[in-house]
């Protein structure tokens, strides 16, 4: 991404502007909430969860992590969603399917459950979408290339891939879809990498789209030049957390998208979600902040000491901060530690430890160890709305 593009993007994001993206220029506009097609992409770290409204119907595409489902609940409440016309799962990885079980146990009505017929890393009887549908007594519609799901008279999901099974990388078994409507078109790439891209390009299944949900969190082995030359996106969205995946978004991927003429929006640079509105061939963007939740706390820091097996949360603000509803996530064992309802005074710290911790702690988790002491581990503090407040790693390289 060149310097001018980066400066313009950061300036516009910082003031919460709304863009209308044209083929040659950007102009300011207001978001039309009555437009037929809108796409909401949640900012929940290295995870995918998106809501698409079109023709008075609403669809969920992926459900994020299990521990970020509260962000989806906030989105449902924010937009008054009590009914989903369909739920799509692109592939069976925890950062895409984790919230499905909670959804199945919720009061949200679901008309249809969709997943790719092709998958490898999981047995059919253990497939997370199958299990979610089973909880409701529903069946899954297993999709394959060539299937079309109509949405009203003039919009549709076209299933492009996968067309062959990848037994080495489940990301390349991602469900890849093109949403097409008079308002605009979107390519949902899941976690597709270069191998699946090449398969679909070779069969000429990929066509031009206005908008790209970039594959595999902006990894350098996704969104290839060949794909971008065909798609020609005017805008692209990357869902990632550099704390969780330090090599994303890859500079090479950002450069390719920039060279392709796409304006790039990255989840971790936004507030709570990215809201895109499609109308008459234009794409409007809003850096969306929840109206039904308090603003995200920005003044906390998190540090990890592997030798003592502790994590320390520090309030760097000049005012007190409540940790009510927060939870500490440890990547080591995919562990979540709900924290007590405490308030940190300015400059005050709170120490979380384990049974192996060698110092006094404010909170002792019922675990022998919290952090890896020989390879990279990630610590994240989430609030009650599924948002990352702060994070760090344990100091080990990938």
Whose tokens are 């702690």? That residue is 361
pLDDT confidence of residue 15:
41
> Which CA distances in Å does 187 have to 195, 215, 237, 273?
17, 10, 11, 19
pLDDT confidence of residue 25:
31
The CB density around residue 205, as the number of other CB atoms within 10 Å, is: 18
Euclidean distance between CA atoms 236 and 213, whole angstroms: 6
> H or E element: which one contains 14?
helix 3-14
DSSP of 351-394: EEE-TT--S--SEE-SSS-SS-SSS--EEEEE-TTS-EEEEEE-
Q: Which of 125, 127, 135, 150 is nearest to 103 (CA)?
A: 135
Buried residues in 50-65 as b, exposed as e (16+ CB within 10 A): bbbbbbeebbbbbbbb
Domains belonging to the chain, first-starting first, are 3-288 (3.60.15.10), 300-393 (2.60.40.1260)
DSSP annotation of 234: S
Euclidean distance between CA atoms 312 and 301, whole angstroms: 8
pLDDT confidence of residue 376:
93
> H or E element: which one contains 157?
strand 155-161
Task: Tell me the sheet residues that pair with 264.
Answer: 236
Euclidean distance between CA atoms 396 and 19, whole angstroms: 40
Euclidean distance between CA atoms 160 and 177, whole angstroms: 6
The pTM for the full model equals 0.91
Task: Tell me the sheet residues that pair with 18.
Answer: 286
pLDDT confidence of residue 108:
98
pLDDT confidence of residue 245:
94
pLDDT confidence of residue 5:
41
Question: Which positions of the chain have pLDDT values less than 50?
Answer: 1-33
pLDDT confidence of residue 19:
41
Q: Which of 33, 81, 58, 84 is nearest to 278 (CA)?
A: 33
pLDDT confidence of residue 331:
86
């Amino acid at each position: 991404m060149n310097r001018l593009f980066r400066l313009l993007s950061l300036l516009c994001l910082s003031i919460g502007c709304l863009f209308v993206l044209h083929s040659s220029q950007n102009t300011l506009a207001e978001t039309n909430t009555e437009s037929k097609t809108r796409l909401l992409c949640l900012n929940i770290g290295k995870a995918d969860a998106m809501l698409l409204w079109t023709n008075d119907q609403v669809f969920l595409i992926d459900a994020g992590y299990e521990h970020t489902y509260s962000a989806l609940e906030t989105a449902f409440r924010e937009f008054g969603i009590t009914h989903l016309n369909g739920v799509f799962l692109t592939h069976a990885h925890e950062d895409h399917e984790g919230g499905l079980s909670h959804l199945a146990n919720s009061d949200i009505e679901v008309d249809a459950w969709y997943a790719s017929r092709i998958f490898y890393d999981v047995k059919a009887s253990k497939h997370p979408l199958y299990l979610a549908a089973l909880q409701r007594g529903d069946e899954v519609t297993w999709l394959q290339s060539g299937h079309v799901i109509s949405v009203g008279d003039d919009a549709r999901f076209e299933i492009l891939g996968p067309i062959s099974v990848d037994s080495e990388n489940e990301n390349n078994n991602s469900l890849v879809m093109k949403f097409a409507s008079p308002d605009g078109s979107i390519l949902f790439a899941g976690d597709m990498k270069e191998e699946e891209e090449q398969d679909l390009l070779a069969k000429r299944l990929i066509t031009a789209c206005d908008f790209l949900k970039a594959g595999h969190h902006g990894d350098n082995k996704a969104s290839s030049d060949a794909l971008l030359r065909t798609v020609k996106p005017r805008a692209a969205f990357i869902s990632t957390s550099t704390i969780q995946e330090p090599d994303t978004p890859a500079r090479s991927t950002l450069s390719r998208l920039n060279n392709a003429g796409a304006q790039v929006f990255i989840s971790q640079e936004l507030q709570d979600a990215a809201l895109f509105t499609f109308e008459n061939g234009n794409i409007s963007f809003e850096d969306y902040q929840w109206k039904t939740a308090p603003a995200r706390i920005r003044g906390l820091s998190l540090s990890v000491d592997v030798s003592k097996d502790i994590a320390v949360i520090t309030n760097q603000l000049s005012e007190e901060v409540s940790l009510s509803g927060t939870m500490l996530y440890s990547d080591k064992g995919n562990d979540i530690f709900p924290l007590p309802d405490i308030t940190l005074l300015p400059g005050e710290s709170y120490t979380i430890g384990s049974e192996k911790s060698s110092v006094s702690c404010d909170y002792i988790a019922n675990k022998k160890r919290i952090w890896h002491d020989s390879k990279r581990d990630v610590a994240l503090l989430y609030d009650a709305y599924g948002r990352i407040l702060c994070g760090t790693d344990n100091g080990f390289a990938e």
